[in-house]
Structure 1
Amino acid sequence: MKKFEDVLFHPLQVDSNIELPEKFTFPFYYEPHALSILASEDLQHYLEKEADFDHNFGLKPDAQGMVIGKMFGVMVVQREDQSIGYLAAFSGKLAESNVHKGFVPTVYDTLNPKGFYKIGEQELNQMNKEIEILESSDDYCSAKKKYEDNVKAFDSELKELKQTIKEKKAERNKLRDSEVNKLSPEAYENLLEELKKQSIYYHFRLKDLKNDWNLKVEEAETHFKSLQTRLDTLKEKRKAQSASLQKQLHEQYAFLDANGDTKDLLDIFENTTVRIPPAGAGECAAPKLFQYAYENALKPIVMAEFWWGASPKSQVRKHKQFYPACRSKCEPILGHMMQGLTVEDNPILEVKKHEAPLEILYEDDYLVLVNKPHEFLSVPGKTHLDSVQTKMQQYLPNSRPLLVHRLDMSTSGILLVAKNEKTHKNLQKQFIKRTVKKRYVAILNGELSKKEGIIDLPLRVDLDNRPQQLVCYEHGKPATTKYEVIEVKEGKTRIHFYPITGRTHQLRVHAAHGNGLKMPILGDDLYGTKAERLHLHAEELTFEHPVTKKELHIVCEAPF
């Protein structure tokens, strides 16, 4: 067998008991096929033992450079002679390069120093430098300051004079009224003449002030605007050149599908909600793998992507763990590239129904508490209508049931439902004021040494992979969780969570994240590994009854 780095088609010795799948992997939600695992293990062996590039994945304490984990992809393919092998790719660049032996090439190499993109980028950088020099030059700064100072001084003096004129006018009016019956007609006529002269004086004083300052401001403005026009011209030129360069780049990313049809990034994203291809679109592993396979008459069989390296500070990523393709960039691209392939159905679109009536934990004239099954929606989704909300509407046809809070689809346990708006508002206030006490029980996939503690990691949605959440100290919402370990046994930890806030996927991220407990909840298909179910259950809820004002304490034991 040739060395890994000498070939792009890496032969696989496939065990006779491994059957080729009839359908290609659905890349956005999958369990890796045995062939994908076999290919991934081979690639991981190369990364671990033989890799001839220098990149700090954060796995070796003595490694130099910034720690950057990386997503790698494998695609098992079949040649026309029926032989089986796999292709390998990495997302983005690796060791500051797009080209490495053994990995399929990128669709377009933006790092090629002789390519139009690098040349155009250098021209833009030169424009940026010219703009920066002009904006920071003494001439521009002093001209701008002089113009702004003159405008400010003119405005200040004008306001001051107008106020004086207003006050003097009021004094004259008062004098006219007070002296009309005191002075003789001749004396009063002389007074009016004097007051008129004062009025004319201030009229000309205002006119002179405006003329003087208009000359000063106009002179300063002319000099400043000559420099500003030059600056604006440069910025407009930069903007036009940047847009032209970006358009040209998007046209270079032309992707094949299984039928041999081609679409570039502009065509692919034209009918999406964003319309403009996001930065880095086409640079992920999956599009590279498809493109090379189609260009070389290789039939895609299965694929998988795994993370290699230390976990990043924001996302939940575990070394060697498999992950789906990203949605914001890859979903539109792969939606085109998989045309003509027979692909597995999207399991997310499978209709999940719960035929049996929901278990009622407590009910009175004002509210009802139910036990939500796992893998069942709290409220109707875009494609799944069956939910706790719809079942409550069927159960209470003469009421207007309203869910006071929600649970993730994969989480089971106590849900509180109000039978009318007044009750709903009262209960919601209790949640907002955080007087409601909640306790969840979970099983972590690992043995936790700490007995108790508090996790404080702000969360926001991962824009590239909705509905997943990531830790973000800049834009995330505060998220705090108390925890208490109940039992550690056979590689698993039973734990109680007491969420102080109620963010989406809060407990799941706080458990799995590297700055949290570093242990995903057992069965977490988003932040850990899939199992028969997510082992997370809302077990206890304590709150004040909105009418009786008595404390209600509801318990629903976990089914695991």
Structure 2
Amino acid sequence: MTRRKVPDHAPSLIPDFSYDPPDVPLSVLHEDAQILVVDKPAGLLSVPGKLEGRQDCLISRLMAEYWDALVVHRLDCDTSGVMIFARTKQAQAFLGQEFEKRRAKKTYVARVWGVMAEERGHVDLPLGSDWPNRPRQMVDHESGRPAQTDWEVIGRSETETRVRLSPLTGRSHQLRVHMLALGHPIIGDQIYASGAARAADRLMLHSETLRLHHPASGELVSFTAPPPF
């Protein structure tokens, strides 16, 4: 088999994206002359959307208070948590290399549907766009790009599992598709979950920590935002 879509229990129809960004104040975790670190709320775009009515986003809100803020990376609209922004072009280039060369390390916390039997594991499944159903991504063994995720259970209930996810690559929707491929979609995922797993007021995925080298000192620094769920 060379090409495989995500499991059949995923919904066949992707709901229309209705953008209603949260009216909440900025949560700045750290600031200095080179960088800004922010806890992004769920439901807010990282950068402006292409369609009308999607200009409100984290970078525009941030620039209203910090005119020199520059984008380095993104989080999905529905994902919350730690994001870093540069304040100079030199810092932006340095941080861009931290992500491109995979020196930046991120961990996420997620609530996934179902009780995972193992304590930890590793997912190695290539991902590519499901073009007829964009923005959906899928496992694609023929032409997908390599994608790896480490996972570890940090809690269980009767119907769900709390996991810490460590992406070793940075593909679009990587954590969402990898968890779905394991049979445990992230709760509240309106694209990949179905049935009871979809019934939540938000996507239960949060960028918990970001560790990388500071563009001024070269020192390894780490930033954390506890999950709000």
TM-score (norm 1): 0.38
Give the 3-state SS of the residue equivalent to 2:210 in structure 1: strand
The separation in 2 between residues aligned to 1:377 and 1:315, in whole angstroms, is 25
Q: What does residue 511 of structure 1 align with?
A: 179
Q: 1:532 aligns with which of 201, 213, 220?
A: 201
2:95 aligned partner, one-letter code: L
Contact 1:403–1:415, Cα closer than 8 Å, also in 2: no
Contact 1:316 1:470 in 2 (8 A): no
Residues in 2 aligned to 1:432 and 1:496: alpha-carbon distance in whole angstroms: 22
- Call closer, same or farther: CA 1:492–1:351 in 2, change over 3 Å: closer
| C-alpha displacement of 1:488 | 1.6
Superposition pairs of residues 473-492 of structure 1, within 5 angstroms: 473-492=141-160
User: Is the helix fraction higher in 1 or 2?
Assistant: 1
Task: Write the mapping of 1:56-455 to structure 2, written as runs, cut at 5 A.
Answer: 313-318=4-9, 322-324=11-13, 347-348=16-17, 350-383=18-51, 384-397=54-67, 399=68, 401-455=69-123
Superposition deviation, residue 352 in structure 1: 2.1
Q: CA 1:518/1:465 → structure 2, altered by over 3 Å: closer, same or farther? A: same
TM-superposed CA distance for 1:487, in Å, is 1.2
CA gap of 1:376–1:490, structure 2 versus 1, over 3 A, is same
1:393, distance to aligned residue in structure 2 (A): 1.7
Structure 2: gaps (5+ residues): none
> Which structure has more RCO (C-alpha within 8 Å, separation ≥ 6)?
2
- Native 8 Å contact 1:317 1:527 kept in 2: no
State the SS of the aligned residue for 2:64: helix
4+ residue segments displaced more than 6 Å: none
Q: Indicate which of 218, 221, 224 corresponds to 1:552.
A: 221
Q: Kindly tell me the number of residue pairs found equivalent between the two proteins.
A: 221
Residue in structure 1 matching 2:187, options 500, 511, 522: 522
Distance apart, 1:357 and its partner CA: 2.3
2:188–2:204 Cα contact (<8 Å) kept:
yes
For the Cα contact (< 8 Å) 2:128–2:145, is it kept in 1? yes
Residues 253-279 of structure 1: per-residue CA shift (max 9 Å, x gap) = xxxxxxxxxxxxxxxxxxxxxxxxxxx
Give the partner amino acid of 1:525: Q
Cα distance per residue 1:18-49 (max 9 Å; x no partner): xxxxxxxxxxxxxxxxxxxxxxxxxxxxxxxx
- Aligned partner of 1:169 in structure 2 is none
The TM-score normalised by the length of structure 2 is: 0.92
Q: Deviations over 1:344-377 (max 9, x none)?
A: xx852x4423333210011101100111111110
**After superposition, what is the alpha-carbon deviation per residue over 1:443-478, rounded to whole angstroms, capped at 9, x for unaligned?**
110000111111011111111100000111111111
Kindly indicate whether the alpha-carbon contact (under 8 Å) linking 1:316 and 1:509 is maintained by their aligned counterparts in 2. Answer: no
Instruction: State the percentage of identical aligned residues.
Output: 38
Find the residue that maps to 1:464 and give its secondary structure: helix
Larger radius of gyration: 1
Alpha-carbon separation, structure 2, partners of 1:501 and 1:450: 22
CA contact (8 A) 1:358 1:370 kept: yes
> Could you tell me which residue of structure 1 aligns to residue 212 of structure 2?
543
Q: CA separation of 1:390/1:470 partners in 2, compared to 1, >3 Å: closer, same or farther?
A: same
Is the alpha carbon distance of 1:316 and 1:390 closer, same or farther for their aligned partners in structure 2, counting shifts above 3 Å?
farther
SS at match of 1:425: helix
- State the 1:322 CA deviation: 4.4
User: Counterparts of 1:490 and 1:437 in 2: how far apart (Å)?
Assistant: 31
- Check 1:390–1:316 CA distance in 2 against 1; reply closer, same or farther (3 A cut): farther
Whichever structure has more strand as a proportion of its residues is 2
